Amino acid sequence: MKKVTIYTSALCPYCWRAVQLLKKKNISFREISVGMNAKLRKEMIQRSGGVTSVPQIFIADQHIGGCDDITALERSGKLDAMLAV
Protein backbone atom coordinates (compact mmCIF):
# COMPACT_ATOMS: atom_id res chain seq x y z
CA MET A 1 0.00 0.00 0.00
CA LYS A 2 1.24 3.46 -0.86
CA LYS A 3 2.11 5.96 1.86
CA VAL A 4 -0.75 8.30 2.81
CA THR A 5 -0.25 11.69 4.43
CA ILE A 6 -3.05 13.91 5.67
CA TYR A 7 -2.62 17.48 6.93
CA THR A 8 -5.24 18.38 9.53
CA SER A 9 -6.16 20.84 12.24
CA ALA A 10 -8.04 20.35 15.50
CA LEU A 11 -11.81 20.75 15.55
CA CYS A 12 -12.08 20.52 11.76
CA PRO A 13 -15.09 18.33 10.90
CA TYR A 14 -13.78 17.65 7.38
CA CYS A 15 -10.44 16.50 8.80
CA TRP A 16 -12.25 14.20 11.21
CA ARG A 17 -14.39 12.76 8.41
CA ALA A 18 -11.38 12.10 6.16
CA VAL A 19 -9.42 10.48 9.00
CA GLN A 20 -12.43 8.29 9.85
CA LEU A 21 -12.65 7.11 6.24
CA LEU A 22 -8.98 6.12 6.27
CA LYS A 23 -9.38 4.32 9.60
CA LYS A 24 -12.54 2.54 8.45
CA LYS A 25 -10.64 1.18 5.47
CA ASN A 26 -7.65 0.18 7.69
CA ILE A 27 -5.35 2.47 5.73
CA SER A 28 -2.14 3.40 7.50
CA PHE A 29 -1.50 7.12 7.31
CA ARG A 30 0.64 9.89 8.73
CA GLU A 31 -1.37 12.74 10.21
CA ILE A 32 0.30 16.13 10.38
CA SER A 33 -1.45 18.76 12.48
CA VAL A 34 -0.90 22.24 11.03
CA GLY A 35 -3.21 24.15 13.35
CA MET A 36 -0.59 25.85 15.47
CA ASN A 37 2.50 25.25 13.35
CA ALA A 38 3.22 27.84 10.66
CA LYS A 39 6.15 25.83 9.27
CA LEU A 40 4.02 22.72 8.70
CA ARG A 41 1.16 24.79 7.26
CA LYS A 42 3.61 26.37 4.81
CA GLU A 43 4.83 22.88 3.85
CA MET A 44 1.22 21.78 3.23
CA ILE A 45 0.49 24.84 1.09
CA GLN A 46 3.62 24.29 -1.00
CA ARG A 47 2.92 20.57 -1.50
CA SER A 48 -0.72 21.20 -2.42
CA GLY A 49 0.05 23.88 -4.99
CA GLY A 50 -1.24 26.78 -2.92
CA VAL A 51 -4.30 25.27 -1.24
CA THR A 52 -4.70 26.66 2.28
CA SER A 53 -7.67 24.67 3.60
CA VAL A 54 -7.53 21.43 5.57
CA PRO A 55 -7.51 18.55 5.23
CA GLN A 56 -5.04 18.08 2.41
CA ILE A 57 -4.42 14.47 1.49
CA PHE A 58 -1.56 12.88 -0.42
CA ILE A 59 -1.15 9.32 -1.66
CA ALA A 60 2.56 8.81 -2.18
CA ASP A 61 3.49 12.21 -3.61
CA GLN A 62 0.22 12.70 -5.49
CA HIS A 63 -2.03 15.42 -4.13
CA ILE A 64 -5.56 14.04 -3.79
CA GLY A 65 -7.23 17.13 -2.36
CA GLY A 66 -9.52 17.37 0.64
CA CYS A 67 -12.32 15.44 2.30
CA ASP A 68 -14.79 15.75 -0.57
CA ASP A 69 -12.15 14.53 -3.00
CA ILE A 70 -11.18 11.41 -1.06
CA THR A 71 -14.85 10.63 -0.42
CA ALA A 72 -15.58 10.91 -4.15
CA LEU A 73 -12.68 8.56 -4.91
CA GLU A 74 -14.08 6.05 -2.43
CA ARG A 75 -17.61 6.28 -3.84
CA SER A 76 -16.37 5.79 -7.40
CA GLY A 77 -14.27 2.77 -6.39
CA LYS A 78 -11.01 4.45 -7.44
CA LEU A 79 -9.44 4.91 -3.99
CA ASP A 80 -8.35 1.29 -3.54
CA ALA A 81 -6.64 1.29 -6.95
CA MET A 82 -4.77 4.49 -6.08
CA LEU A 83 -3.52 2.94 -2.86
CA ALA A 84 -2.28 -0.28 -4.46
CA VAL A 85 1.46 -0.56 -4.98
Show me where the domains of the chain are located. 4-83
pLDDT band at 73, cuts 50/70/90?
very high
Q: Which of the listed CATH numbers 3.40.30.10, 3.40.50.720, 3.30.200.20, 2.70.170.10 matches domain 4-83?
A: 3.40.30.10
pLDDT band at 1, cuts 50/70/90?
confident
pLDDT digits (tens, 9 = 90+) for 2-55: 999 999 999 999 999 999 999 999 999 999 999 999 999 999 999 999 999 999
The pTM assigned to this predicted structure is 0.94
| Contacts for 67 with CB less than 8 Å, ≥ 6 apart | 14, 15, 17, 18, 55
60-84 average pLDDT score: 96
50: DSSP letter: S
